[in-house]
A and B are shown apart, each in its own frame.
Chain A
Amino acid sequence: MRRGLFSLNLSRKTWSGIGGAVPPILYITLLFLLPVLIFLGGAFDDTPRHLVRSVSDPLYQRVLIDTLMLGLYVTGICFILGYPLAYALSVMPPRWALVGFAFLLLPFWTSLLVRTYAWMVLLGRNGVINNLLMGLGLIDTPVSFLNNMSGVLIGMVHVLLPYMVFPLFDVMKRVDGSLLSAAEGLGAPGWKIFLRVYLPLTLPGILAGSVLVFVLSIGFYITPALLGGGRVATMALMIERQVREFLDWDFAAALSLVLLICTLLVSIGLGRLLRGKEIHG
């Protein structure tokens, strides 16, 4: 009797849970998944010529590799900068952490174009940074920060850093301090505590942050176009050109499909790699 009542309650809850999920699932299916599938369907013409061209043309091969490398660079730099930053925020007194978050979030509320042009003003040949460095006598001729890969990396890391810091911060906040104390009590040196205890415990944050940053970075378009001075091409740029300029949406779909598959493969691979390390750790 009691058990029956319990199971009835459970199933009611389950049903209402499923019922609640129907509208968002329908919404996403009808307004997002279906149009995306219809669009990607364009890649499969009568012949696979669009797909063949998108993987065999040296131009698109080169741009695809450049895009994925750019994603890896940005993810790596975000990790190197974001890990200590997230750690510092997680151990700070809450009031100071709040100030830190404010600085981290400030660029979030600024338009992407404004941020990009602001970097041009800062990084240019006669920009603030070069003038400062020359004023201090550290350099004689301006350093080219802009219109090359370095400009693109600076601009993209600036935009994407919060996506690395937030998952890390979340995980670090939940790390059980007594585990670290225990390791210390058992005589482990600081670097060992970090490598064997702290790093494995924060791996889920690293994984989540890396996948977020990587996936977002390989879809970037305007930042590479403006800060790269035209020298850094991304797949998004190639797809945009097919859609807007050449009106060849079927080929655009093929390029999108290639990028989507690569994104999935790299994300899954990255996840496997990090999870594997977690077990060994």
Chain B
Amino acid sequence: MIMFDRITGPAAARLLLATAATLLASFPAALSPARAQEPAKPAQIVINDSGGDMQATMRKIFYKAFEDRYGIRVVTTSPPDLGKLRAMVASGNVDWTVTELTGQEAIDAEKAGLLEKLDLNIIDLSPYPEHLRQRQFIFPKSVYSTVMAYRTDKFPGENHPKSWADFFDVKKFPGMRSLQNTPLENLEFALLADGVAPDKLYPLDVDRAFKKLDTIKKHVAVWWTTGAQSVQALVDGEAVMGTAWNGRVWALMKQGAPLAIEWNGGAIKEAAYAIPKGAANSYWGQKFLALAAEPKPQGEYANTIGYPGLNLESIKFTAADVAPFMPTYPDNLKKQFWTDLVWWSENGNAIKERWARWILEN
């Protein structure tokens, strides 16, 4: 199917016609012959992403490849915003051809009916892990992990925190902490620290988690909001250890910051791409996702920014020296757990309000 993209001219038209004919035969009423023709090429498509370093890397690898292949310009906006997506779909004025979403945002967007169905005839998910191959609405863009990061100058050699139990132990590992200002994953970390087995986390014992979090609350210097802030707190010494997204820490480690990642107990999850419902040029959005599913650009992207794609063949294109810094590196993967975003989507709102209340209590 990937090769299919590169077939142009009469061959492509023949293939498309053949596909259309087969489909027409099975659903004569549902499909019009217009489907057989490739929609006209627009001058540009709009991709909404997280901006910053990630956008620069996306531009260099994915957007450029798309522009070169189809002659359609990729215009970018940022950041991903669920509220804005809903407003766009509701008003029928959808600017984005494709948008990035966090794993949980994507699930919420799918539930709210804000997404266009993925065309798996265009997007080839067969080299993906089996549970992802039949994705209906959410394209699995890459994986990232919320990990524990610590200052190597404060904890040199082997004397560093190695588990969430250590993170919560301020006697053994003194100093201020920083955590994200959300219950998502902090509850999991607290339960792991309290002795819950990683495979027994869900459904979360919310009360037990908050009780454990009480013990560390006054040792948290920063409840961070943005990715930049999470690592800033560590680099500036506001905290000696804290949580951050793996790529953020790795970027600073490469620049020589005295930081290290402890993968044990890291919370791994998907970042997503999706096509908003009613997006103009959605066909070319599907084509972009088809390109984003290819292993080679995924491997190059991971080499630069530390967030690997989920095409299992992309590992072939990942440099050997950067592989140990990827959340999907086998040694790392087995130490982490997958955040259950479906559980959070179903139960999260009430817990998030409780969290806001808890943070404001002294």
List residues of chain A with CB under 8 Å of any chain B CB: 58-59, 62-63, 66, 117, 120-121, 124-127, 146-147, 225-226, 229-231, 233, 238, 241, 243-247
Contacts and interface: CB of A to CB of B under 8 A. Distances in A.
Nearest to A146: B238
A229 B352 contact: no
Nearest to A120: B232
21 contacts: A59-B353, A59-B360, A62-B360, A63-B360, A120-B236, A121-B236, A125-B237, A125-B238, A126-B236, A225-B181, A226-B225, A226-B226, A229-B221, A229-B222, A230-B223, A230-B224, A230-B225, A238-B356, A241-B352, A241-B356, A247-B112
Contacts of A125: 236-238
B83 A230 contact: no
Given A59-B356, A120-B232, A147-B222, 11 more contacts: A58-B357, A63-B360, A66-B360, A124-B237, A124-B238, A226-B225, A229-B224, A244-B83, A245-B82, A247-B82, A247-B112
Nearest to B225: A225
B359 to A, nearest CB: 6
Interface in B262-284: none
Contacts of A120: 229, 232, 236
Contacts, number: 66
B236 A124 contact: yes
Contact of A229 (B86, B223, B228, B356): B223
B194 interface: no
Contacts of B352: 241, 245-246
- Determine the main DSSP class of B at the interface with A: helix
Contacts of A117: 228, 232
Interface string B79-94: 0011110100000000
B108 interface: yes
A234 B356 CA distance: 11
A58 B354 CA distance: 11
Contacts of A121: 236
A30 to B, nearest CB: 15
Contacts of A247: 82-83, 86, 108, 112
Interface in B348-362: 349, 352-353, 356-357, 359-360
Contacts of A127: 236
B174 to A, nearest CB: 14
A66 B353 CA distance: 17
B359 A244 contact: no
A241 B181 CA distance: 12
Give the top 3 A-B pairs by smallest Cβ distance, nearest first.
A230-B223, A244-B83, A230-B181
Contact of B359 (A58, A147, A230, A243): A230
Nearest to B221: A147
A231 B221 CA distance: 10
Given A59-B360, A125-B237, A244 B222 contact: no
A120 B226 CA distance: 13
